[in-house]
Amino acid sequence: MSSLVSGLPALLAPLFSIILPVFGLVFAGFACRKLGKLGPAAASELNRFVVYLALPALLFDTMARTPLAMLDQPAFIAVFGIGSAVVFALTLGVRLMQSRPLADASIDGLNAAYPNTGFVGLPLCLLAFGKESLAPAVIATILTVCVLFGVAIVLIELGLQTQRHIGATVWRVAKSLCKNPLLIAPVAGALFNASGLVLPQGGEALIKLLGGAASPCALVALGLFLGGKSEAHNVRTTGVLVALKLVAQPLLTWWLAVHVFKLPGLWAKTAVILSALPTGTGPFMLAEFYRRDGSVTSSTILFSTVLSLVTVTLCLAVML
């Protein structure tokens, strides 16, 4: 026991060197919003910069430089996809049985199963596991922001329509996803990779400048968002959703990765860490867009982000 205690500082030092930069940027945005240094529109505008410029540049650069064979990972896709789908479907079913409207139940499903792979996952994996982890992080981001998000949009549209025209709904979702820069950028990067072309020096410098801004700006934007949405609503529901996100999903993903699909070490660790991330801002964006009550969603994002400082640290302590 004494040797374990004496070795604890040596274990915690690298963990905090990984965690603190990420959450330090989140806190910086949070503090700027609370202190009034950045106004209520700052989070939205900075988020637009990340979504439309910086993060797509990072995704394009990653896909353009990643061997395409490395992305052919059906086992990883199954592990991460099943882990997210089970938690989403379970939450959706329970909320429907509690007489929650389909649109709101779908958003609650996202609250429990939508990890913040884009804003927190990419920088965290890069710091924890190196550039080799960016490929699974990109795959997980695509599954989250395109597939899971798309399914939720379809369900919300179905729930809000009085006359359910399935074809029109699917077409609307398809058009929305085809305009999503977080989908377009990695696909364009993969096509560029397959073409064998090489970016000119100026173009490469531009992509790297934009991509380098993605992680810090995204994390500050998340902090700004949390600083403006700090009120707590429906503590019991929020607590259940946070527990599903931070405990149930990573445990299920770990079981699938290690005991069912037997992923290689780096891919298994990345899958677990990405599934253990706090709830991303996607559900709140949908709640605002469709004019649904976003109080539970904002509370879930806030508390899952704060508590993940502990849970993600524990995950890294076990795996590093």
In words, the CATH class of domain 2-319 is: mainly alpha
pLDDT at 284: 79
Q: What is the enclosing helix (H) or strand (E) of 186? A: helix 181-195
DSSP line for 196-235: T----HHHHHHHHHHHHHHHHHHHHHHHHHHHH------H
pLDDT at 7: 46
pLDDT at 244: 96
Q: Is residue 129 a contact partner of residue 274, using CB atoms and an 8 Å limit?
A: no
Q: Is residue 115 a contact partner of residue 249, using CB atoms and an 8 Å limit?
A: yes
pLDDT at 241: 96
pLDDT at 153: 81
- Mean pLDDT of residues grouped by 10 in the chain (320 residues)? 47 61 84 90 84 84 77 91 96 94 93 88 83 87 83 81 65 74 82 87 90 83 76 79 96 96 92 93 79 81 86 83
pLDDT at 16: 65
Q: Is residue 151 a contact partner of residue 23, using CB atoms and an 8 Å limit?
A: no
- Per-residue burial over 256-269, b = 16 or more CB atoms within 10 Å of its CB, e = otherwise: bbbeebebeebbbb
Q: Is residue 114 a contact partner of residue 282, using CB atoms and an 8 Å limit?
A: yes
The residue assigned the tokens 């490929």 is 135
Residue 196: partners with Cβ closer than 8 Å, 6 or more residues away: none
Largest CA distance in the chain: 68
Q: Enter the DSSP assignment of 121.
A: I
Question: How many CB atoms are closer than 10 A to CB 317?
Answer: 13
Q: What digits encode the pLDDT tens for the residues 172-204?
A: 767 776 777 877 888 888 889 888 888 888 888
pLDDT at 52: 85
pLDDT at 59: 80
The residue assigned the tokens 């976003």 is 294
Cross-strand partners of 279:
115
Q: What digits encode the pLDDT tens for the residues 135-185?
A: 899 899 888 877 888 888 878 877 876 555 667 767 776 777 677 787 788
pLDDT at 5: 45
pTM above 0.85, yes or no: no
